[in-house]
Structure 1
Amino acid sequence: MPVPPIDPELAVALDALDEESRAPITPENLAARQERDAASRPRPTAEDLRAGGRFEVTELRVPGPLGAPDVTLVSARPCGLAGRPLPLLYYMHGGGMVMGNAWSVLPRILREWALPLELAVLSVEYRLAPRARYPEPLEDCYAGLLWAAGHAAELGIDPDRIVIGGKSAGGGLAAALALLTRDRGGPVPLGQLLLCPMLDDRGTTFSGRQMTGLGVWDLTSDTTAWQALLGERHGAADLPPYAAPARATDLSGLPPAFIEVGSAEIHRDEDVAYANALWQAGGQAELHVWPGAYHGFDGLAPEAALTRAARETRTRWLTRLLTRPPAPAPGP
């Protein structure tokens, strides 16, 4: 079937990838791809992240879910801002729930958001599938959020200004975390930053079929990742929305959302539908569909004009969110 055209600058970056990087992830090659990712993905140390004294960086071990291991949170904030609580970006990395780490995403987050917006950041090292199955990765993220909100003074953060966010699988986790903390009466996020979020395990959208075999993440890779996370529950009619937020039937009472996705990627239709469902529930969502963008375009082509536009748009949304006046207290 015809597919949306890819932005010319982004196409150059995609064409430069080797064949192995573009090959779909399958159950048969998943273990090898995980090993390759663990060996090749950057994992900066705390000293690297301090960037010559520009940031305070600490690796924290906090209590995990009941009966589970502790959760590692990488804490970072600009230096020289002691004495006042900072807003917090509570961030979950991408990697399809099967790859990635909490350290690799931080250099860009610190440079683009933490420093100019005077943000504190906590990046979550959640357990990966298939070694960990749902709900374990999400419960790791929830345990870390509970700890952070309960230790706000120690962290130097404002517990009323916590933004949860993530990219791809991390965006799906952020959306699920917003649902979970709402339903458990946990910390109330100020907003949710959902970058090309992975929301729907069913693989039935038009864009999923349309982009098969194209880009760096297609329906084969997506299905492999969901099966790794959900096991026999993959595709089940009674799968809870915390496992796949596109399954949610009640999206009321959620924090404002920023949702972005590319026009030429598998997650396009599920992400657009999620924004629409938030609006239908009376919620607030800002949706951006970047023309000609594929999954992970900003990482492969960081200097492309479309990438720069996306970065600026995310930053503007965060700035508006963090500087808006507090909502008025409810009347009697």
Structure 2
Amino acid sequence: MTDQTTTGILGPVTIRPPFDPELVPAEEAIRGAMPVLSHETLPTVRRLLAEGMPGMEPADLTAGGRVRVEERQVPGPEGAPDITLLILSPADGTWPRAGIYYVHGGGMVVGERRTGVDSFVPFVAEGGAVVVSVEYRLAPEHPDPAPVEDCYAGLLWTAKNADELGINPDRLLIAGMSAGGGLAAGTALLARDRAFPKLSHQVLVCPMLDDRFATHSSRMLDGLTGWDRNSNLFGWTSLLGERRGGPDVSPYAAPARAEDLSNLPRTYIDTGSAELFRDEILTYARRLSEAGVNVDLHMWGGGFHGFDQIGAHAAVSRASVATREEFIRRALKD
């Protein structure tokens, strides 16, 4: 099978590993509920995500009153609008805590500061962290470098105001999922190259790292899962326009292009074996390790993009989440 809309750009579909059997119903459900991203479907996808999936109640970010929720308008990049930060802190007010700076996913084109942040609420409710979630500008209305520069501006404000936020500046982590994982990796590169702030860890969950579609896995999903190669092409093209795949793409936008991965924080990075981003993630983890970075890499058999959120009931999903949470809890105490 070849997708006629991408012939000549992405080439034929390649072979993929099978999905974990427990995940198959979840994959079918998300595929039926969410259209493939395009200029025509983008408003619908944004509306569906804003309204929430049918039958799912909004997450209680207060954790029953144990978490204080506030929002701040803070300076954006020079010459750009202010950005909004969602701040979750322990209600008991004990200071200081580790800080988790969170970047939401959404293919560079959808999502907002509350998207996926509920995954980090337990660390706040347990008293181990303050979480700051950034609302960055989205493509295609705001192409590169707007998203990553917004993320860096929010991180810069967080670090400069660590005392007020109750954050120990020596324990400041950055975390992101999917596109947010790619932006987190790009923001970590910016923080290194601009010499502030110093990050203790980066947690990259199925990160979106490479715009070039040069790997086997980048071409192996067509019409399957909530994020296939066609959605991926739309996301990257929305961010980069005609530069996508060419020589003029910044490593801060596509971290797989970074030539120097030294002096980056200890890294947790994960992927599924049937994940579109699998190969770029494995390569990034190897290159980080070769550059002297301490890396925890996990590949989960039969997992597709976002499997442990979409099919949370499955044994492989529960193992993935437990492993990631255990790493973060250790990181908060390092």
TM-score (norm 1): 0.91
Q: 1:310 to 1:104 in 2, by over 3 A?
A: same
Paired residues for 1:201-220 under 5 Å: 201-220=211-230
In the alignment, what sits opposite 1:108?
119
Separation of aligned partners in 2, 1:277 and 1:136 = 27
**Which of 321, 328, 331 is residue 311 of structure 1 equivalent to?**
321
Quick check: 1:79 aligned with 2:52? no
The answer to whether the Cα contact below 8 Å between 1:172 and 1:244 also exists between their aligned partners in 2 is yes
Separation of aligned partners in 1, 2:316 and 2:83 = 35
Q: Secondary structure at the match of 1:6?
A: coil
1:130-157 per-residue CA deviation (whole Å, 9 max, x = no partner) reads 1111111111111111111111111011
Separation of aligned partners in 2, 1:72 and 1:105 = 16
1:184-225 per-residue CA deviation (whole Å, 9 max, x = no partner) reads 111011000000000001112100112233221111100100
The answer to whether the Cα contact below 8 Å between 1:93 and 1:170 also exists between their aligned partners in 2 is yes
Q: Return 5+ residue gaps in structure 2 as ranges.
A: 1-13
Q: 1:76 is aligned with what amino acid?
A: L
Separation of aligned partners in 1, 2:96 and 2:144 = 34
Q: 1:117 to 1:297 in 2, by over 3 A?
A: farther
**Which of 67, 76, 87 is residue 55 of structure 1 equivalent to?**
67
Separation of aligned partners in 1, 2:85 and 2:47 = 22
Percent same amino acid at aligned positions? 48
1:111-170 per-residue CA deviation (whole Å, 9 max, x = no partner) reads 3x3233611100111111111111111111111111111111110111111100100000
In the alignment, what sits opposite 1:8?
21
In the alignment, what sits opposite 2:306?
296
1:273, distance to aligned residue in structure 2 (A): 0.4
The answer to whether the Cα contact below 8 Å between 1:78 and 1:114 also exists between their aligned partners in 2 is yes
In the alignment, what sits opposite 1:251?
261
1:49, distance to aligned residue in structure 2 (A): 2.2
The answer to whether the Cα contact below 8 Å between 2:137 and 2:146 also exists between their aligned partners in 1 is yes
Q: Return 5+ residue gaps in structure 1 as ranges.
A: 325-332
Q: 1:97 to 1:18 in 2, by over 3 A?
A: closer
Q: Secondary structure at the match of 2:245?
A: coil
Quick check: 1:120 aligned with 2:133? no
The answer to whether the Cα contact below 8 Å between 2:30 and 2:226 also exists between their aligned partners in 1 is no
Q: Secondary structure at the match of 1:204?
A: coil
Q: 1:157 is aligned with what amino acid?
A: I
> Which deviates further from its counterpart, 64-73 or 297-306?
297-306
Q: Secondary structure at the match of 1:317?
A: helix
In the alignment, what sits opposite 2:103?
92
Q: 2:244 is aligned with what amino acid?
A: H
Between the two proteins, the alignment pairs up a number of residues equal to: 319
The answer to whether the Cα contact below 8 Å between 1:197 and 1:267 also exists between their aligned partners in 2 is yes
1:18, distance to aligned residue in structure 2 (A): 5.4
1:43, distance to aligned residue in structure 2 (A): 9.8
Q: Secondary structure at the match of 1:50?
A: coil
In the alignment, what sits opposite 2:162?
152
Q: 2:251 is aligned with what amino acid?
A: P
Separation of aligned partners in 1, 2:247 and 2:23 = 37
The answer to whether the Cα contact below 8 Å between 1:14 and 1:215 also exists between their aligned partners in 2 is yes
